[in-house]
Amino acid sequence: MKQATIKSFLFSTSALLLLLTVNAFVDDRSIPAADTRPNIIIIITDDQGYGDVGFNGCSDIQTPNIDKIAANGVVFTQAYVTYAVCAPSRAGLLTGRYQDRFGYSRNPLYKPNDPNQGLSLEETLLPQLLQQHNYTTMAIGKWHLGAHEKYRPWNRGFDTFFGFLGGGHRYHPNEYTIANEDSAKNEAESYKTKLTRNGVPVDETMYITDAFSREAVNFIKRSSKQPFFLYLAYNAPHAPLQATESYLKRYEHVKDTKRRTYAAMVSAVDDGVGVILATLQEQGIADNTIVIFLSDNGGPKQDNASDNGHLRGGKGTLFEGGIRVPFAMQWPMRIKSHTTYTKPVSSLDIFATIADELHITSQVKKPLDGVNLLPFINGLKNEAPHNYLYWRQYDQKRYAVLHASGLKLHLSDTSKMLFNVSSDIGEHQNIIQQEASNSSMLLAKKNEWEAQMIPPQIWGLNQEKQYQFGKKP
Ligand code: CA
């Protein structure tokens, strides 16, 4: 797209945005009655590659149940998370805001005794908002948004939590050798803590993925009479690669042992999704339950044998392979089955979609960075949901800016590259010379965006030394 086209595109979309903003202020729609409000389930996997679900063309791993979410609703083919690793991406998802606005820009050091090492308490998490509207809320699985008591899920809007607080975990209960999460000294030790229910250690016996699925089903069964919100954060298929014999058996034909174990781990998640969808049917609540499936960042091929399909790069990079993720959503009452949506969307949109559908956006204290996706996927709005999407890797001084046309600028201290991901999904052809004026325009947009962001407020995983010296993050 030439600059003139971008300008007119911008003009029409900013005029529309203005209209939408004005509308938001005069939104006097009443809040839907409790018994008509949708239940909400967000299923997030960890380090699963873009190409590792059937609905994105995966051929060696079967994901029939995850694919049902796609078939029952919409697949977003160009969906992004807000960061290329776990914790910042989850912070963006659960606040609906760029995590750089509040400095949750790193994977945190595991410091259960440090009251400053967590997601700012000035931010409202989606479950906090929903709790105020009488949703029953539960988080299951990986937290990663602060290990200190004041940041733990039950103090951030979740009535119930079952899982662990760090960035990952071992999968077999005989390896849970650390009695409680406060005595784990670092991230590696946090992988071996006992799982807890609201902080009370439990004696788990099941493979972790199956345990999380069991908890999800039990929660749905006991909450089916009222609106509920379930945040199901599987740590699979994040390393370490560990599966059970029964799941491995399904992939005996896969020669690469790493890929075989990875496939088995994804299969365990898929079985879990299957029982969850079946439970919604049994309870008669499937039609008015939103089920969202996504991965928290792209696959790190070297670590877990994941596959990002045709995308360049993987976890930790701002190439498409690091930030574009499998993303599908069903809500039979509102979304037509077998819908495909191809314009860029973001995990930031999840919060905004839910808040707007519940008519409670005006009660959100800070401006959201996402938009309600429903009018876009239902064809009521034809423009792009986002003119621009932004990424910042503060410590590496790397940035990316994506324009709705597909132009994507990569910036670092040592390089500048421009790709058109609409025509060149693999980011092979650097067109920065040919598109100099668009590059300058994208650079200006990035600077404008960054002026609203703040530096990291927490220490990162590889900053133990700075932390010990008591410097400020
Ligand atoms: Ca991750």
Taking the centre of ligand 1 as the mean of its atom positions, its distance from the CA of residue 450, in whole angstroms, is 24
Taking the centre of ligand 1 as the mean of its atom positions, its distance from the CA of residue 238, in whole angstroms, is 7
Tell me which residues of the chain have a pLDDT lower than 70.
1-28, 34
86 is catalytic: yes
Taking the centre of ligand 1 as the mean of its atom positions, its distance from the CA of residue 360, in whole angstroms, is 30
Q: What is the pLDDT of residue 398?
A: 98
How is residue 338 written in tokens? 């077998």
Residue 307's SS3 state is: coil
- Class for domain 37-377, per CATH? alpha beta
Strand pairing of 160-164 and 136-142? parallel
Is the CB of residue 339 less than 8 Å from the CB of residue 74?
yes
Q: What is the pLDDT of residue 32?
A: 80
Residue from 58, 144, 238, 403 carrying the catalytic annotation: 144
296-327 per-position pLDDT tens digit: 999 999 999 999 999 999 999 999 999 999 99
Taking the centre of ligand 1 as the mean of its atom positions, its distance from the CA of residue 6, in whole angstroms, is 34
State CA 77 to chain mean position distance: 15
Orientation angle between helical segments 257-282 and 208-223, nearest 10 degrees: 10
**Ion ligand 1, residues whose Cβ is below 5 A away:** 46-47, 86, 296-297
Residue type, 372: N
Dihedral sign of CA atoms 158, 161, 164, 170 in order:
negative
110-152 per-position pLDDT tens digit: 999 999 999 999 999 999 999 999 999 999 999 999 999 999 9
Q: What is the pLDDT of residue 33?
A: 76
pTM above 0.75, yes or no: yes
58 is catalytic: no
- Written as one string, the DSSP assignment of 393-429 is ETTTTEEEEEETTSEEEEE-SS-EEEEETTT-TT---
Taking the centre of ligand 1 as the mean of its atom positions, its distance from the CA of residue 141, in whole angstroms, is 13
Q: Name the CA radius of gyration of the chain, rounded.
A: 21
How many alpha carbons lie under 13 Å from residue 244 in its C-beta half-sphere? 16
Taking the centre of ligand 1 as the mean of its atom positions, its distance from the CA of residue 297, in whole angstroms, is 5
Query: Which residues have C-beta within 8 Å of that of residue 378, sequence separation ≥ 6?
Result: 334, 335, 336
The C-alpha angle 226, 230, 233, rounded to 5 degrees, equals 170
Residue from 58, 86, 169, 403 carrying the catalytic annotation: 86
Taking the centre of ligand 1 as the mean of its atom positions, its distance from the CA of residue 66, in whole angstroms, is 18
Strand pairing of 79-80 and 345-346? parallel
Taking the centre of ligand 1 as the mean of its atom positions, its distance from the CA of residue 87, in whole angstroms, is 7
Taking the centre of ligand 1 as the mean of its atom positions, its distance from the CA of residue 434, in whole angstroms, is 35
Q: What is the pLDDT of residue 470?
A: 80
Q: Which of 366, 347, 364 is nearest to 355 (CA)?
A: 364
- Class for domain 388-468, per CATH? alpha beta
The domain locations on the chain are 37-377, 388-468
